[in-house]
Structure formats: C-alpha cells, structure tokens
C-alpha cells in the first residue's frame, strides 16, 4: 500500500512541478524527485520487495516519460548558480546535453510504446522496457551533474 | 671566511643532492622475485581487472561496452600538479605493454617503477596497488595479454616544473606510500570484512579519490575514506564512512545494491567519475560486492573530509 502511495506521489510531483515555473531549479528538482520515486517503485518490484503490478509499472514509465519531455525546459542560461548540482557542462556543452535529453526522450517513448494499454505483462517485460531508460540516469549524471555535498 | 662559508654551502648542497639522489632512487624487483605462484589465470585476472578499475582510465574517454577492453589510453586527469594522460596499456608491442615481462608489470603495479627504471607519477594509483597480492598481479597480467592490441600512443603528461622531475617522486613515495593495510581489523573480523579491506584498500583504490590529501598530494590516512574535494576541480567526492555526512544510514545491502545497480537507497543514481567505477563493480561477484559493503560498515567513522559548502 505504501508503495502504491509512492506511485501516486510520483505522478503528483511531476504535475506540481509545472506550477513553479518561475523557479527553474525548484522545478527540475521536483521532476528528479518524481523520477527517483518511479525508479524506487521499479527497483522494489525488481528486487521482489513489492509484488509486480502492471498498473504501477505503467505509472512509473509514464512518470519518466513526462519528465523526459519536460526536463530540458528548465535549464535557462544563468540557472547554474544557486542551490543546484547542475554541472557547468550543461551550458558549456549545450549540444552534448541536448543529445543526452534526446536519447532520454526516445528511450522513454520506446518504453511507453512497449508498456501498451495495460502496462508490461510481467516483470521480464517491464525490465526489458525500463532498463534502457535507467541507463540514461547514469550517463547523464556522469557528465552533467556535480556532487556538492 | 667568505670562502669557508661558500665551501660549507657547497658541501651542504652537494650533500643534500647526494641524499636526494640516494633517497629518491627507484626500488624494484629482480627477475623471478615474485616468488612461487600458481600458474597465471586470465580468467581470475579478468576479475582483478574489474576490481582494479583499469578500464576507467585506460579505455578511451567515454568508451562503453566491449570498447572498455580496448586499452588505448587518453583519459586526462586534470590536477593541481598538471594534466596526467593515461597511457596505452593494450598488448600492442610498440605502443602498449606487449613487450613487457611479468616482472616489468609487477614493478609498475607494486612499486610504481617503469621497465626503464623510472618512477611513475602516483596519478597511476600504485600506492593502492602496492597492497595487492603477487598472484593477483600475475593473473591480471595474463588477462591483459588476452585483450586487443591497439595502435597509437596517448599524449604526454602536461606538467609544470618542478613536477616534471620524475626523480622527485621517489621522495614522495618515501613520505606517503604505505603498503600495509590502512585499517587494522579486529582479530574477530569476518572473512568478508578482510576480503573487503583487500578490495577497497588494494585493487579497488577507493581511497585515492575518497580520502583527502595534503598540499603535496599525500593521503591523510587519519581521514581514511572521509570524502574529499575532487582532485579534478569540480565538486566533492563523498564521505563513505559512517561519520557525519557519510553513509551511516545505508545498510550493507544498500551499499552492495548501489555497487551492482548504480542506485542509492533514495533511488538517486550514481554520477560523475563514479559511473565508470560502478560499471566495473557490476562485473564483480555478489560476494565481493558484499565484502566491500561489510568493510565499509566497519571502517572508523569520520566527519566529512572536505569543507562544507554551506
């Protein structure tokens, strides 16, 4: 039950982000928190801590898809200063960052496609769909995030 | 009087020079000195390869998948001392290490000395590798020989004086290298903690980034794994002890899962230079990842080894 609540929270977080569009750092943090909640649900099912449920699986994938489509909008010039872990490379290598965003968008779109109307049929199908999406977390954080504390 | 002073100064400088020359001399092994080992095994060596993180610096920058086995070099480490460029260590006879003997390789790994008898800079983490067993070094060499030959040399290091003088590294080694274990484990320590200590302090060379250093680049062993300002300039490398700011809230299972999957307990993902390291750790056995976790839970708790940004 707690995990289902988490799934709902994930969706709400991704929606509430839009309301705070005048504070891009806050919005992108909210989007990332929604991503983490979705990854948490996916991870719990993969580890067997939570029984596989196609509807939850689909909710996780759709949250990541909403994030992929919107995330890149919240990095205006100058938003690298402040309480953020955004790396200067986001602006210094704008082309590379855009390429990373495009990959994230296309990998999540493929996962949405694979999950169909009722969500991936079983855990193996879910893993196959979401695995490539998770690869984006690492590859983007490798070059475009700085750990500050 | 003036003459005497000059003469004394000369004697002091000459004496200092002689002492410098003696103290900074490279130490290395004679042929056959590795002792009685089992027949080298490339299969075991592959495990050592991933534990040692060789691909993170010696594969081409940004390499992924099978390309991480092409050890062309070229990754740049930008430090306060200048830019170090990782060399080609593929088995290419001219551009790589294809014509090295096993003793040449052991001298590089355990003593930081090249086949030509020169010191390597400790950007190559031999201060940690010095804690490895001769068997692991021998197995690793056997595995490296099975990898593809890659033609072409990586660029030269770009350093400024006095760091251009390799001989000075000899003094650095005397002052800062410590090939015994950093953390004395209790006699009752589990096999997992002992294995974890070997992996973390030796091949894994975790302390090279996670332990703060003094002005001369020597590790501050009393702040072992407490986290540090990144040697490459941007951001910090986290505290992985149980001290304030560290990972006390992570269970051993959380640590092992992070090393396997790249996800923290909060499902944040691995980032920065650790992405490549985690890819290496994912190749280890489950038992070895659990051993690393057991050791990290047992190292002394230290507060953050870097200044707070707030």
The CA distances from residue B147 to B61, B101, B115, in Å, are 18, 16, 21
Cβ within 8 Å of residue B258, ≥6 positions away: B250, B264, B265, B270, B278
CATH number of domain containing A134: 1.20.120.10
Distance CA B246, CA B252 (A): 14
pLDDT in tens, B44-77: 999 999 999 999 999 999 899 999 999 999 999 9
pLDDT higher for B152 or B19?
B152
Q: How many CB atoms lie within 10 A of CB B248?
A: 12
Nearest CB to B263 within list A39, A139, A148: A39
pLDDT in tens, B5-40: 656 656 666 667 788 887 888 887 776 677 778 999
Q: What is the ipTM of this complex?
A: 0.83
CB A11 within 8 A of CB A31: no
pLDDT at A2: 52
Strand partners, B237: B228
Any domain includes A49:
yes
Q: List, as one string, the DSSP characters of B91-114.
A: S-TTTSSTT--HHHHHIIIII-B-
- Residue A116 Cα, gap to closest chain B Cα (Å): 25
Any domain includes A149:
no
Q: According to CATH, where is 1.10.760 located in chain B?
A: 191-298
A vs B: CB pairs below 8 A: 57
- Residue A32 Cα, gap to closest chain B Cα (Å): 9
pLDDT in tens, A64-99: 999 999 999 999 999 999 899 999 999 999 999 999
Any domain includes A6:
yes
Nearest CA in chain A to B245: A149
Distance CA B14, CA B144 (A): 44
Sign of CA dihedral B152, B153, B154, B158: negative
Direct distance between the N- and C-terminal alpha carbons of chain B, in angstroms, rounded to an integer: 59
Q: Which of B117, B115, B100 is nearest to B27 (CA)?
A: B117
The reply to whether residue A141 touches residue B271, judged by beta carbons under 8 angstroms, is yes
Provide the CATH number for the domain formed by B191-298 in this structure: 1.10.760
- Classified as helix, coil or strand, A7 is helix
Q: Is the pTM of this model over 0.80?
A: yes
Q: How many CB atoms lie within 10 A of CB A46?
A: 17
State how many domains chain A has.
Answer: 1
Which residues in chain B have Cβ-Cβ distances shorter than 8 Å to A141?
A: 269-272, 275
- Residue B229 Cα, gap to closest chain A Cα (Å): 9
Q: Is B271 in CB contact (< 8 Å) with chain A? A: yes
CB B182 within 8 A of CB B106: no
The reply to whether residue B308 touches residue A148, judged by beta carbons under 8 angstroms, is no
Any domain includes A80:
no
Any domain includes A18:
yes
Burial grade of B44 (CB within 10 A; 0-12, 13-18, 19 or more): middle
The boundaries of the domain holding residue A25 are 2-75+85-144
């Amino acid at each position: 039950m707690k995990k289902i609540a988490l799934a709902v929270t994930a969706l709400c977080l991704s929606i509430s982000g839009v309301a705070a569009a005048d504070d891009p750092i806050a919005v992108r943090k909210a989007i990332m928190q929604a991503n983490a909640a979705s990854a948490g649900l996916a991870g719990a099912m993969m580890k067997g801590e939570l029984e596989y449920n196609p509807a939850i699986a689909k909710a996780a994938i759709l949250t990541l898809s909403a994030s992929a489509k919107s995330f890149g909008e919240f990095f205006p010039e100058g938003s690298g200063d402040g309480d953020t872990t955004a790396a200067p490379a986001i602006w210094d290598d704008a082309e590379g960052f855009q390429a990373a965003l495009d990959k994230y968008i296309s990998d999540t779109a493929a996962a949405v496609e694979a999950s169909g109307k009722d969500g991936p049929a079983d855990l193996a199908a879910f893993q196959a769909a979401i695995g490539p999406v998770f690869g984006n977390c690492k590859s983007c954080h490798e070059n475009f995030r700085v750990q500050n504390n | 009087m003036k003459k005497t002073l000059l003469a004394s100064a000369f004697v002091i400088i000459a004496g200092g020079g002689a002492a410098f020359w003696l103290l900074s001399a490279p130490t290395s092994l004679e042929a056959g000195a590795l002792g009685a080992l089992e027949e080298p095994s490339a299969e075991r060596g592959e495990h050592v390869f991933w534990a040692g993180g060789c691909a993170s610096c010696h594969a081409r920058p940004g390499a992924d998948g099978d390309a991480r086995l092409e050890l062309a070099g070229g990754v740049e480490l930008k430090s306060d001392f200048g830019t170090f460029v990782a060399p080609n260590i593929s088995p290419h006879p001219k551009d790589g290490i294809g014509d090295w003997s096993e003793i040449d390789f052991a001298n590089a790994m355990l003593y930081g000395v090249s086949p030509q008898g020169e010191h390597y800079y400790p950007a190559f983490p031999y201060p940690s590798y010095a804690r490895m067993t001769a068997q692991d070094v021998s197995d690793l060499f056997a595995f490296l020989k099975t990898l593809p030959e890659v033609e072409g040399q990586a660029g030269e290091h770009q350093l400024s004086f006095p760091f251009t003088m390799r001989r000075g590294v000899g003094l650095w080694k005397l002052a800062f290298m410590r090939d015994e274990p950093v953390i004395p484990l209790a006699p009752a320590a589990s096999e997992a903690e002992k294995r974890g200590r070997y992996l973390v302090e030796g091949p894994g060379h975790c302390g090279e980034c996670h332990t703060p250093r003094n002005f001369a680049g020597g590790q501050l062993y009393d702040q072992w794994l407490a986290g540090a300002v990144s040697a490459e300039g941007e951001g910090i490398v986290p505290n992985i002890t149980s001290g304030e700011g560290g990972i006390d809230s992570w269970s051993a299972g959380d640590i092992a899962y992070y090393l396997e999957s790249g996800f923290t307990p909060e499902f944040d993902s691995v980032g920065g230079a650790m992405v490549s390291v985690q890819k290496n750790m994912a190749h280890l056995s489950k038992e070895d990842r659990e051993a690393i976790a057991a050791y990290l839970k047992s190292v002394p708790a230290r507060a953050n080894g870097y200044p707070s940004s707030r």
